[in-house]
Structure 1
Amino acid sequence: MVVVPLLGALSLAACTAAGSDDDPSGPVSIDQDWSEADPITVDVYDGLANYMGIQGGWFGKIVKDKFNMELNIIAPNVAGGGDTLYNTRVSGGELGDLVVVDKGRQMDELVEGGLLLDASDYYGSMTNVSPFDTAVQHLNEGKEGVYGFPTSVSSLKPTESSEGIDPTFGPYLRWDLYADAGYPEIGTLEDLLPILKTMQDAHPQTDDGKPVHAISLFKDWDGNMMVTAKQPATLYGYDEMGFVLAKADGSDYQSIVDPDSQYVRSLKFYFDANQLGLVDPESTTQNYDTMFAKYQAGQVLLSWWPWLGQSAYNTEQNMADGKGFELAPLQDQKVFSYGAEVYGGKQIIGIGSGAEDPARLAAFVDWLYSPEGILASASETQGAAGPEGLTWEKGEDGAPVFTDFGTKAILEGGADVPAEWGGGAYKDGVSALNVSTVLPIDENPDTGYPYSYKYWPSYQETTSNPLTDDWTSHMGDPASTMDYLQQNDQVVVAPGASFTTPTDSSEIEAIRSQVKATIIEHSWKMVFAKDDAEFDALLAQMQSTVDGLGYATVLEFDMANAKAQNDARVAVAKEFG
C-alpha cells in the first residue's frame, strides 16, 4: 500500500487556536458522540442518486443511530435528468446541506457562488479522509480552502485497472442461451446481431410468458449523447469527453457526429438490430428502473455493463440452474478500463455553506471514508459488502465471510432485514448516495482483504456454479473476467489522472445545450428509422442542424480537453508508476 503524506492534515492540526461550531476560528474537533445530538434532517443533493426522498432501511438506521440524522435525498436523475434541478436550486442560493456533484464546472460554480463550506477547520480531525490527503489537496488546489472531498480514491498505481474482477464495460450475453446457440465466435460488434437473432428466436418468451428482446434501452442517463450508443465504443477503447470519443492510449479522437465515428457505428448497430426485431419497442419511453426489472425477469439478452445484467439476473438460484450473464468477447475488442485515480474520481462530496450543523456533516463525510462507512455506503454495483454483523462477519481465520442473511440478501436475490437493523427489504435499505468514497478493490485494514466481496476467498469458493464453471472452462480457465481480458491483450487502461474538465463558458454552455438536445433527439429517431434511407437522412439532418448551431466551437473546446486529459494521463503514469 502506498503511504501518502498527511501534509494538509498535519498543517491544519498544527494550528493552536481552538475553534467552536459557532466561531470556527481554528480547528474544530468532530470527535464526539453525535448520537446524543439533537435530531436533524439533511438535504442531500446527489447527482448520482437514483432515489428521491428520505433514506430508509438499514443504511438510514445506521446513519440515524450514529449521527441522529436523516438524509433527504434530492436526485436530479429522478426529477427528470439534466441540469434543470441543479440550476434551479443554485439560482435559489442553496443546493443542499450535503452535495455529491461533478468536480470541475459544478464544484467551481458552487465555490465561486458561496454555496460550499470551507471545511478547513474540520479537516484536521477528519482522520479517515487524511490518508488520501494528496487527492484532497489536488482537488482543492487554488481554492484557498477545503471545499470538496474526492470520491473513488485509491492507494493503487494509476496504471493499474481500478475495476477489479470485472471491467466497467463489456459485451455480456445470457451465456446459457449463447451456449445453446453453440458458442459462435464473435468477430466484431456487428457479428453480434445474427447471434442475438438466433438466441431471441430460440427463446422469444420467458418461462412465465413475458416477451424477450435481445436489446433494451433507456433515456434517463442521456447527456451529451445517447448514453447507450456510447457504450459499444468502450469495447474499442474509447470514452467520452463532451462531443469527442477519445481512445484510452491517446491514439485517436473522434467527433461523435462524424459518419465514421464509433458513435454513429453504434447507432447503425441499434438500427440494424431494430430492423431484425431485436430492440425492445418500449425503449423510447422506459427509464432505467423499468429496464432493470426486465433484466431481472430474464427479458433481455445483451448487457454492455456487467453491473447491469449480472447484478439483475445472476442470482444464486439462476446460476445454480446454469443461467446468467457472462462476457462473450468480440475477437477485435480492446475494452476501455479506468486506471486507479490517484487524485480521485469524477464526483466530489461537499458540505453546503448553509448547513445547520457543519461539524456533524464533516463527521459523517469522514465516516464515509472509514472501513465501516465504505462497506455500508459503497455503490452496490461495485461489490459492496454491506455492514459487518448483518451481511458479513470475520471467520475463524479473520477473513471476511458472508452471514446466512448476507448470502440471501446479496447473492440469492434479496431478503428482509431484521427489525433491529431497520427492517424492510435489504435492497430498499441500500445507500441511496450511490457513491464509493474509496475504490472497492482497495484493502480494508480491518480484514487485510479488499472491500469488494468479490475478492474474498470465501466468496470465490462458494460461487462455483454451473454457469461460471461453464464460462471458465470455455474461456481457458481464467481467474476472472479481467484476468481473461489481460491474458488476451483485450483491455486498455487509461491511467487515472483525475482530470478535471474546464468549465464551459456561457457561450459554450448555451451552444452545447442546444446541440446535445439535437443529437439525442436524432439519435433515437435513427435507431427506430423505418429504413436505411431514413437513417441516412436523419444523420445528415443531425449533422447539418448541429453545424448551424455552432457545433464546431464546442467540438474544438472538447477536443482540446480530450488531448489535455491524455497529457495528464501520461504525466501521472510517469510520476506514480
Structure 2
Amino acid sequence: MGIKKKLTAGLAAGLAAAMMFSLAGCGGDSAQDDAVDDGSLMTVDVFDGLANYQGEQKGWFAKVVLDKFNIKLNIIAPNVAGGGSTLFDTRSASGNLGDIIIYGYENGQGAKLVKSKLLADMTPYLDGMDNIKANQLAIDAMNETMGQEEGVWGIPGSVSSLAPTEASEGLEPTFGPYLRWDYYKAVGYPEIDTLEDLIPVLKEMQDKARETEGRDDIYAMSFFKDWDGNMMNNAKQPTCFYGYDELGFVLAKADGSDYQSITDEGGIYERTIKFFNAAYRAGIVDPESTTQNYDTMNSKYKEGKVLFSFWPWLGQAAYNTNENKDAGKGFMIAPLKDQKIFSYGATPTGGKTFIGIGSKAKNKQRLVKFIDWLFSSEGVYDSGAQTGGAAGPKGLNWELNDDGEPVLTDFGSNVLSGGSANVPEDWGGGSYSDGISALNFPTVNVNDIDPETGYSYNATMWPSELEKANANALNQDWSAHMGGYSTTMEYLEANDMIAVSPGSSYMSPQEDSQITTLRGSVKTEIVNASWKASFADSEAECDKILKEMRETVKGLGIDQVLEVDMKNAKDQDAARKAAVKAYEAENK
C-alpha cells in the first residue's frame, strides 16, 4: 500500500455491481436538461472517495461556499461510513451516486461510471469556465484512460504547470531518513556512509536520549502494520532512499534503469529486511512494533519516544513544533552519503482521482461554476488549506505586503503551524481546523506558482516564511553541518541525491481475477515472512526465513503475478518518458 489515504476496500468491486443496473438517461447531455436555476439555497451531496469526514461542511469554508454559490455541501464519505461497497451499490442502484462525485478513475473505474450513466458530461456548461478549460491536457489524458473520445466527464486533481521532471514536493521530499537532529548533534555528528551505518549511530543516539531523559522506553525505530499490502510497508520505505518505488511485487527505479522483484535474493527489499533485523538485534527497535497501529506509533513521536522517521510528514509533523525547533530539537534529514531519494514528478495531466457532476444533479451549471472556482487561485488556497498544504484564505491567513509579496498573518502563522484558534465571526466563527475543506481533494499542486501573486500556493516556500524557518536553532544547526543549505530539497538537489520520477497519468490496467487471487496468497506469505525475518533472533534465522519464503511463493505462483507487474512497471516508465516528451512539445 502507498503512503497516501486509499479508497475504502471494496469500492472497486461495487463498480462492477453498478453495471447490473440499467440506468435511464445521462441527465447531463445538454444544458436544457436542467430546470431554470432560481439561485435559491441548494444542498449538494458530494460522494467523496477521499473524504475522511461525513456530514455537512462546517465553519469558514462552508461560509465561503455559501456566500459565493448559495450551496451547502453534504459530504458522503465511504471512508467514514464503512461498508464502502454497499454504500456505492445502494446509491448507484438508484442512478444517483451524488450531485458531485470525487472518485478514482483508474483500473476501469471511470469508464464504468460513464457507461453506468452515473456521470454527466460537463461540455454544455463550460462557457466561461476558464479554469476548467485550462486543464484540457489533464481532461484529455483522463478521457484516454477511460476510453472516451469526447466529453468532459471530470477533471483530475493535483494538476501542475510544472514540468514532469520537476519534483512535486516542496521543501521536503516524500521519503527520506529523518532523525532527531538534537541527539545526532549530542553524539558528535558521526558520518553515515550507508543505510547499514545508521544502526550504530542510532544506537548511540538511543543511549544518549535514555540517559538524558531518564527513561528506558525511548527507541530509535518504531514500526506498524496498518499499511501492509503487497509487502511489509515499513520495509518498502528505505528502498525509496535509493530511488525505488513499488508497483505490485516490483520495485522500480525512478529513471527506469532497474526493476526488481521484492523476493529477489540480494535485492533492495531483502537489504531493508536485513537492516531491520540488524537494528532489532542491536536493541533499537520498539518491541511493540508488531502489535501497534499507526496512531499509537504516531503518539510516541509526539512524546519524543522515537528517534528515526521514514518520512518528514511523520517525524517533523509530530515533533517539530515551534517551541521544540527554537530549543534546537526536532527531526531533520540525515547526511546519508549514498542516498538517492525517490521523488514524484509534477503531473501536468493530474492524479488518479477526479471531480465530476452526477447525472441526476440539479442546477448543473451552478455546480460546474463551483468546480471551476475550486481550480481558481482563490479556490486552490481555500480548498487546499492545511490538509492540502495551501496557505488558506487570503485576508484571514495571509495578505500581500507593501512590496506585493505574500506574508502570513499572525492568525495564519499560528494555525498553519498546528496551533488552534477560532476564526472571526465574519468568517463564520468556530474552530479554524473544523472549518477546513472536508473535500480532501487538491485540485492544483500547491507548490505551483499562483499566477496572481507570482509565488507558490504553499506558504512554506514564500521568502518571508523561509527567512523565519531558518531563524530557529534547529534549522540553523542543521544548515551549519550540511554545507550551508537552507532547505532539505536544496541540499538533495545540490548533491545529486534526488531521483525524480517524471509525473504521468499512467494507471495499471485492471488485472485478471486469477492474478488477483494468486496475489492475495503470495502477498500474505511475503508480509508474514518479512515481519518474522525482521524480528529474528539471529542473522542465520533471518536468512532461513527469507529463503523459505522465496521457495513458498514460487510454489504459490508468484512468477505469473510478477510477469504482470513487470510489464506494468515498464509500461509506467514508458508513460513517464512520453509525458516528458508531450510536455516539451506543448511548451516547446
Give the TM-score normalised by the residue count of structure 1. Answer: 0.86
Could you say if the C-alpha distance between residues 44 and 274 of structure 1 is closer, same or farther in structure 2, counting changes exceeding 3 Å? farther
1:492 alignment counterpart: 499
- Structure 2 gap segments, 5+ residues each: 1-24
Could you say if the C-alpha distance between residues 64 and 302 of structure 1 is closer, same or farther in structure 2, counting changes exceeding 3 Å? farther
Distance of 1:223 and 1:428 partners within structure 2: 32
Task: Please say which of residues 110-119 and 294-303 is displaced more in the overlay.
Answer: 110-119
> What SS is found at the alignment partner of 1:443?
coil
Give 1:127's match in structure 2, choosing from 130, 134, 141.
Answer: 130
Give 1:40's match in structure 2, choosing from 16, 19, 43.
Answer: 43
Matches within 5 A, 1:468-547: 468-547=475-554
> What SS is found at the alignment partner of 1:486?
helix
Give 2:572's match in structure 1, choosing from 560, 565, 573.
Answer: 565
2:64 alignment counterpart: 62
2:298 alignment counterpart: 292
> What SS is found at the alignment partner of 2:275?
helix
Q: How far off its partner does 1:56 sit? A: 3.6
Task: Please say which of residues 55-64 and 233-242 is displaced more in the overlay.
Answer: 55-64
> What SS is found at the alignment partner of 2:502?
strand
> What SS is found at the alignment partner of 1:496?
coil
Render the CA deviation track for 1:441-487: whole Å, top value 9, x for unaligned.
21112222110112211111222211111111111112421111111
1:178 alignment counterpart: 184
Verify the 8 A CA contact 2:29 2:120 in the aligned structure 1: no
Verify the 8 A CA contact 2:28 2:120 in the aligned structure 1: no
Could you say if the C-alpha distance between residues 183 and 134 of structure 1 is closer, same or farther in structure 2, counting changes exceeding 3 Å? same
> What SS is found at the alignment partner of 2:130?
coil
Could you say if the C-alpha distance between residues 530 and 101 of structure 1 is closer, same or farther in structure 2, counting changes exceeding 3 Å? farther
Q: How far off its partner does 1:164 sit? A: 2.9
Distance of 2:298 and 2:386 partners within structure 1: 14
Identity among equivalent pairs (%): 51
1:319 alignment counterpart: 325
Q: How far off its partner does 1:424 sit? A: 4.7
Distance of 1:165 and 1:461 partners within structure 2: 13
Could you say if the C-alpha distance between residues 488 and 22 of structure 1 is closer, same or farther in structure 2, counting changes exceeding 3 Å? closer
Distance of 2:59 and 2:293 partners within structure 1: 24
Code of the aligned partner of 2:417: L
> What SS is found at the alignment partner of 2:496?
coil
Distance of 1:549 and 1:122 partners within structure 2: 52
1:408 alignment counterpart: 414
Code of the aligned partner of 2:30: G
2:30 alignment counterpart: 26
Are 1:101 and 2:107 matched, yes or no?
no
Matches within 5 A, 1:62-461: 62-67=64-69, 68-76=71-79, 85-92=83-90, 94=92, 97-101=100-104, 103-141=106-144, 142-143=147-148, 144-204=150-210, 211-353=217-359, 355=361, 358-378=364-384, 380=386, 383-411=389-417, 413-461=419-467
Task: Please say which of residues 197-206 and 493-502 is displaced more in the overlay.
Answer: 197-206
- Structure 1 gap segments, 5+ residues each: 1-20
Verify the 8 A CA contact 2:105 2:352 in the aligned structure 1: yes
Distance of 2:391 and 2:84 partners within structure 1: 31
Distance of 2:54 and 2:300 partners within structure 1: 22
Render the CA deviation track for 1:40-63: whole Å, top value 9, x for unaligned.
25243324x445555444434434
Code of the aligned partner of 2:543: D
Give 2:563's match in structure 1, choosing from 536, 552, 556.
Answer: 556
Could you say if the C-alpha distance between residues 276 and 328 of structure 1 is closer, same or farther in structure 2, counting changes exceeding 3 Å? same
Distance of 2:553 and 2:91 partners within structure 1: 33
Distance of 2:467 and 2:452 partners within structure 1: 21
Q: How far off its partner does 1:374 sit? A: 1.1
Code of the aligned partner of 1:131: A
Distance of 1:316 and 1:551 partners within structure 2: 49
Q: How far off its partner does 1:147 sit? A: 2.5
Verify the 8 A CA contact 1:28 1:125 in the aligned structure 2: no
Code of the aligned partner of 1:59: F
Code of the aligned partner of 1:571: A
Verify the 8 A CA contact 1:174 1:326 in the aligned structure 2: yes
Verify the 8 A CA contact 2:26 2:117 in the aligned structure 1: no
1:11 alignment counterpart: none
Q: How far off its partner does 1:102 sit? A: 5.2
> What SS is found at the alignment partner of 1:380?
coil
Could you say if the C-alpha distance between residues 23 and 435 of structure 1 is closer, same or farther in structure 2, counting changes exceeding 3 Å? closer
Verify the 8 A CA contact 2:386 2:416 in the aligned structure 1: no
Distance of 1:111 and 1:521 partners within structure 2: 40
2:7 alignment counterpart: none
Verify the 8 A CA contact 1:135 1:344 in the aligned structure 2: yes
* Count of equivalent residues: 549
Code of the aligned partner of 1:181: V
Q: How far off its partner does 1:304 sit? A: 1.7
1:6 alignment counterpart: none
Render the CA deviation track for 1:108-149: whole Å, top value 9, x for unaligned.
443444444433333445332221111111111231432232
Code of the aligned partner of 2:201: I
Code of the aligned partner of 1:495: P
Render the CA deviation track for 1:527-566: whole Å, top value 9, x for unaligned.
3334445433432443344333322122111101111111
Could you say if the C-alpha distance between residues 574 and 538 of structure 1 is closer, same or farther in structure 2, counting changes exceeding 3 Å? same
Code of the aligned partner of 1:510: T
> What SS is found at the alignment partner of 2:278?
helix
Code of the aligned partner of 2:219: H
> What SS is found at the alignment partner of 2:191?
coil
Give the TM-score normalised by the residue count of structure 2. Answer: 0.85
Q: How far off its partner does 1:179 sit? A: 0.9
Distance of 1:468 and 1:443 partners within structure 2: 25
Task: Please say which of residues 89-98 and 514-523 is displaced more in the overlay.
Answer: 89-98
Distance of 1:281 and 1:105 partners within structure 2: 42
Verify the 8 A CA contact 1:59 1:430 in the aligned structure 2: yes
Task: Please say which of residues 308-317 and 208-217 is displaced more in the overlay.
Answer: 208-217
Could you say if the C-alpha distance between residues 308 and 418 of structure 1 is closer, same or farther in structure 2, counting changes exceeding 3 Å? farther
Distance of 2:577 and 2:484 partners within structure 1: 34
Could you say if the C-alpha distance between residues 23 and 351 of structure 1 is closer, same or farther in structure 2, counting changes exceeding 3 Å? closer
Distance of 2:211 and 2:509 partners within structure 1: 48
Code of the aligned partner of 2:106: K
Could you say if the C-alpha distance between residues 498 and 384 of structure 1 is closer, same or farther in structure 2, counting changes exceeding 3 Å? same
